[in-house]
Structure 1
Amino acid sequence: MIRNKLTPLIAAFGLAVAGSAQADYPEQDIRLVIPYGPGGATDIIFRLISQEAEQHLGESIVPVNQAGAGATLGSRNVKDADPDGYTLLGSHDTIALSKLAGTVDYSYDAFEPIALLTQTINLPVAHANHEVKSADEIADYVEENPGEVRFSMIPSSTDHFFWVQFFDAAGIDMADVRLVGYPDTGEQVSALLAEEIDFAMFNLPSAGQFFEDGSFTPLGVAHPERLDSLPDVATLREQGIEMDHSTSRGLFAPKGTPQEVQDTLAEAYGKALEDDEVRSRIENEFGSVVRFLAGDDYQDFLDENEAALSAAAENIDFQN
């Protein structure tokens, strides 16, 4: 009987201790896994925001680059980590893309979504000598040159899905185009500079310098509004192409991370994005927009995002 009476007390004490521990979170450095190498847009943006967020947490956020296996090495590491709030993932749409491509067997639902932070706006781009000067001219160019127009992409990556969605929105038959695969963005940049391809999908972090020196021509902005840094480039919607497309970067935690911890992290990153200098750099240096969503709002966003990607995946043969 004594044992039976004490058991609920012990259980209650355990809950109280756990609650207290969560209330004191964080009490040590937080490890932020970035599933890409250093220097890219994803790495730079997460480092920038996290440096400000740690001021609101009182502990350091330590970025750890863990590239490999199509960005799944890092995401798998976080997925399998202890759900204590001390291992996080800074990633984007690639989580869902990897599952759709058959690379992994998990998607957003394998994590606790903490917050959407930014969206980097994507653009269809041509080399400077190309006769096509705006996105609404691409369909006619393809019709005039069926089977000869070359679009670059990284198989199963963001730009692969971008082109599939663009062809659908612009009324282009995929049988009339050539999708040319490259291992990374750098190879695509080199190919467009050499005029080996007609079009590529880039954004300001990857192609801004080439817009400035005149090597590349931005053909449209896949966003409802024009970019401040490219005020003369019309949106796709302005050109009659009903399509928006961006790389949506957000913060994730292992499944089972306590809600109190999730809320603490979301609050810190939300405050970080209120900093004028951080916002200015995101918008002006990285061609991105600040879009903070947390809780159910972020979950709804991820559900819609995955549904759109799934629809586009029906037109992709991932074996080729």
Structure 2
Amino acid sequence: MTRFTFSPSPRSFTTTLAAIGLAGLSFSAAVQADYPEQDIRLIIPFGPGGATDIIFRLVSQEAEQHLGESIVPVNMAGAGATLGSRNVKDAPANGYTLLGSHDTIALSNLAGMVDYSYDAFEPVALLTQTINIATTYAGHEVQSADEIAAYVSEHPGQVHFSMIPSSTDHFFWAQFFEEAGIDMADVRLVGYPDTGEQVSALMAKEVDFAMFNLPSGGAFFEDGSFRALGIAHPERLQSMPEVATLREQGIEMDHSTSRGIFAPKGTPQDIVDQIATAYGQALENDDLQSRIENEFGSVVRYLAGDDYQQFLDDNQRALSDAAANIDFQN
């Protein structure tokens, strides 16, 4: 039997590999060009019904009209919002599993709950910000945020601030104390399991101050139960034009819950861009903007690409600075 052997020269072997590589790239590009071809799961690491859940559902419902496939929200609460983020972090990087979350990604890392932060994901787009508000109960002698430092000085060790440990408001107060010149040794931080408990505590005057926003405190601001002391935003809120910003009061601080979309690390950039574009188009809807602003006390702030990456870098830096003043063991 005659045997035939083929011994390619180095040049012909290299040419063959190059051809295979080009074919692979062409196939990959064709696959990505067809994206999306099936439903996309949006993991929301919180329970249903809260502002985060509702805002992501509203915007995603509009965004899917621009993608041509359904975006299916999946609530995956647990482990301080890290169950859902870990699920997305470990998911295939193909654009069919996304994360809808906020600052809690960095907060969980700084609190030592997880060993990853924003850099474990591909940032897709910032969508909204819910502006946070320094708050007290009606009848408290403090009338504005710039009076808090003097009040603490007059009552050292007796002034109580509510917070959820390692959550947004914990960092809010750490940053506030730094900017307002308040020694943390002179205040008492009181931990509560959720926002509802904080509302009850402030209503009962168990604490002097709390951090709320319009979704959590709007009804109480409106009926006069709570007094808004300062808006942590460069501009006053349209729905509360009479309340000065913290910056207007000499406290150089902005603070908000910044909600955005993330993809698993390694997701192709053209897929990331396609998703970001769809969400950007969704936020151009006037009715959607109105609902976000009027029903949820939030502002539309769309950032994508390098702008969103820079925002996350700045956010991580600010939170890290605040974390230096927090004892997470207590």
TM-score in same-fold range (> 0.5): yes
Deviation per residue, 1:183-219 (Å, 9 max, x gap): 1111111111111111100101111111112111111
Give me the whole-angstrom Cα distance separating, in 2, the residues matched to 1:21 and 1:170: 54
Give me the whole-angstrom Cα distance separating, in 1, the residues matched to 2:251 and 2:164: 23
Q: Which has the larger radius of gyration?
A: 2
Question: Aligned AA for 1:206?
Answer: S
Give me the whole-angstrom Cα distance separating, in 2, the residues matched to 1:23 and 1:313: 43
Give me the whole-angstrom Cα distance separating, in 2, the residues matched to 1:282 and 1:123: 17
Worse-superposed segment, 14-23 or 29-38: 14-23
1:108 is matched with 118
Give me the whole-angstrom Cα distance separating, in 1, the residues matched to 2:202 and 2:86: 33
Deviation per residue, 1:83-126 (Å, 9 max, x gap): 00000000111111111110000000000000111111000111
- Is 1:50 aligned with 2:55? no
Give me the whole-angstrom Cα distance separating, in 1, the residues matched to 2:58 and 2:227: 28
1:197 is matched with 207
Normalised by the size of structure 1, how large is the TM-score?
A: 0.97
**Secondary structure of residue in 1 paired with 2:69:** coil
Question: Aligned AA for 1:179?
Answer: L
- Is 1:280 aligned with 2:315? no
Does the Cα contact within 8 Å between 1:71 and 1:94 map onto a contact in 2? yes
- Is 1:149 aligned with 2:169? no
**Secondary structure of residue in 2 paired with 1:118:** strand
Does the Cα contact within 8 Å between 1:228 and 1:284 map onto a contact in 2? no
Deviation per residue, 1:117-172 (Å, 9 max, x gap): 11110001111121212111111111111101100001111100100111111111
- Aligned-residue offset at 1:241: 1.2
CA RMSD of aligned residues (A): 1.2
- Is 1:77 aligned with 2:87? yes
1:229 is matched with 239
Give me the whole-angstrom Cα distance separating, in 2, the residues matched to 1:21 and 1:227: 45
Unaligned runs of 5+ residues in structure 2 are: 1-6
Give me the whole-angstrom Cα distance separating, in 2, the residues matched to 1:150 and 1:205: 23
**Secondary structure of residue in 2 paired with 1:291:** strand
Deviation per residue, 1:9-41 (Å, 9 max, x gap): 333222211111101111111000000001111
Question: Aligned AA for 2:209?
Answer: F
2:3 is matched with none
Instruction: For 1:5-20, list aligned pairs within 5 A.
Output: 6-20=16-30
- Is 1:187 aligned with 2:197? yes
Q: May I ask how many residue pairs the two structures share in their alignment?
A: 320
Instruction: For 1:171-320, list aligned pairs within 5 A.
Output: 171-320=181-330
2:69 is matched with 59
- Aligned-residue offset at 1:6: 4.2
Does the Cα contact within 8 Å between 1:192 and 1:199 map onto a contact in 2? yes
2:174 is matched with 164
Question: Aligned AA for 1:250?
Answer: G
Question: Aligned AA for 1:130?
Answer: H
Give me the whole-angstrom Cα distance separating, in 1, the residues matched to 2:231 and 2:299: 13
**Secondary structure of residue in 1 paired with 2:123:** strand
Question: Aligned AA for 1:200?
Answer: A
Worse-superposed segment, 54-63 or 205-214: 205-214
Give me the whole-angstrom Cα distance separating, in 1, the residues matched to 2:99 and 2:266: 14
In the TM superposition, structure 1's runs of 4+ consecutive aligned residues that sit over 3 Å from their partners are 1-8
Normalised by the size of structure 2, how large is the TM-score?
A: 0.95
